[in-house]
Structure 1
Amino acid sequence: MTTRTRPSGTLPTLLVLIAALAAGLGLWAGQKFFSRTAAVPPVESMRLLDAARVLPEFALAAADGSVVDATALRGRWTLVFLGFTHCPDVCPMTLAALARAEKLWATLPEASRPRILFVSVDPERDTPEALQKYAAYFSPTVLAATGDIDALTRFAASLSMVFAKAPLEDGGYTIDHTSWVAVLDPEANLAGFMRPPLDPELIAADMRTLVEHAP
């Protein structure tokens, strides 16, 4: 979760933490009861599901005006992170780590090179222009997208993630959100996740392993 200065013990934060715990337990249970259909390659930076989870249909709006859906994401591995451009700590740290990893896997063939998808859960403030500028600060190839709250909530839930608006004392707000990174396979299915702290070198090595292991 992101950190910020505001009264502790407020109801929104409590609800988010409860939801996050439930989501995490659900993902763990899913891992325990998935049938193993293929050998899982050895990785260090992430935890892979025994079998990828098919995601329900989703459609988000990319900062460049295109649509981000399962069809658009097929063909390459994708690392998905939920956040927002006003995030003071977790979001820039995560995107910086992923961008460093991206530089390390840059020698992979372009057709199979993993992509980074940053999904803003703050559509009220994160306009396409703001998203494009923010993502480009970390890497010109980061794909940035958002959507309406209902679409974002469904997408986040499909990845066992949560987010919620949290008021601040000055009258503004921040966003509480899951801080891990989802790993989507080349079929745009949920293959696993990475928890912070993120190690760019390990991530890059693991993505190379996954690219080479993919059929």
Structure 2
Amino acid sequence: MTLLPALAGRLGLPGLLLALAACAEPPPELPVNTRLGGDFTLTDHRGEPFQLADQRGRVVLMFFGYTHCPDICPATLARVSQVYRNLKEAGDAERVQPLFITFDPRRDTPEHLSEYVPWFKANVIGLTGDEEQIRAVAEQYGVVYLQSADDGSGYDFTHSDYVYLLDQQGRVRKLYPSDFDIDEVIHDVQSLL
């Protein structure tokens, strides 16, 4: 008697299909992006120094934006927050850290960020610094942003809007567009835990 008919006889067709699925190749690991990333030091929304290296052992979801953004930034942070809350329900949030890095340090002071990030109810750490520090971090991660002229009523930014997934060693593993699929991100985060 060959193996498959013998297993089918013992397990039935549904059992055989489950057994075969268990033998299938595991999904491929998320690749490490070696062109983007690196450690940095900025100031958090409490006014304390923040170093990415201090997050080792945690998976990081990182987004660059600004608090006066009328649409993309708050919507993207809301989606990141939903990922965090879903991970919290699954018991995985203690090893995940959402980060929001502003490229508008003039308005996004630690005091302002400390009022802004709690609205998302996801343990988001807001980060700022001087313009040179922020420009350097943006370059490390391939972030593009351009400030509009201040016409007296304020200014805006045109910017890239990717969310970065960093593994527990701080390496970039995946970039998501701002309208990412929440379930996909949850799955990817859990694959790195």
Q: Does 1:149 align with 2:122?
A: no
Higher relative contact order (CA 8 A, sep 6+): 1
Alignment-derived partner of residue 91 in structure 2 = 108
SS at match of 1:105: helix
Alignment-derived partner of residue 181 in structure 2 = 199
Q: Does 1:163 align with 2:167?
A: no
Alignment-derived partner of residue 73 in structure 1 = 55
Q: Which runs of 5+ in 2 are unaligned?
A: 1-26
Asked if the contact 2:33/2:174 (under 8 Å) is kept, the reply is no
One of 110, 115, 121 as aligned partner of 2:103: 121
Asked if the contact 1:70/1:188 (under 8 Å) is kept, the reply is yes
Q: For the residues of structure 2 that align with 1:70 and 1:169, how far apart are their CA atoms?
A: 36
One of 169, 177, 187 as aligned partner of 1:187: 169
Alignment-derived partner of residue 22 in structure 1 = none
Matches within 5 A, 1:48-67: 48-52=30-34, 55-67=37-49
Q: For the residues of structure 2 that align with 1:118 and 1:51, how far apart are their CA atoms?
A: 20
Coordinate RMSD, CA, aligned: 2.1
Corresponding residue pairs, total: 166
Change (3 A) 1:159 1:40: farther
Q: For the residues of structure 2 that align with 1:139 and 1:127, how far apart are their CA atoms?
A: 20
How far 1:183 sits from its partner (Å)?
1.5
Structure 1 residue runs of 4+, over 4 Å off? 50-54, 168-171
Deviation string 1:132-154 (CA, Å, 9 cap, x unpaired) is 11110012511111111111111
Deviation string 1:56-106 (CA, Å, 9 cap, x unpaired) is 442100011222223222111101101111000000100000111111111
Asked if the contact 1:104/1:201 (under 8 Å) is kept, the reply is no
Q: For the residues of structure 2 that align with 1:180 and 1:127, how far apart are their CA atoms?
A: 22
Q: Over alpha carbons, which structure has the higher Rg?
A: 2
Q: Which amino acid aligns with 1:162?
A: V
Q: Which runs of 5+ in 1 are unaligned?
A: 1-38, 42-47
How far 1:55 sits from its partner (Å)?
3.6
TM-score, structure 1 normalization: 0.70
How far 1:178 sits from its partner (Å)?
1.3
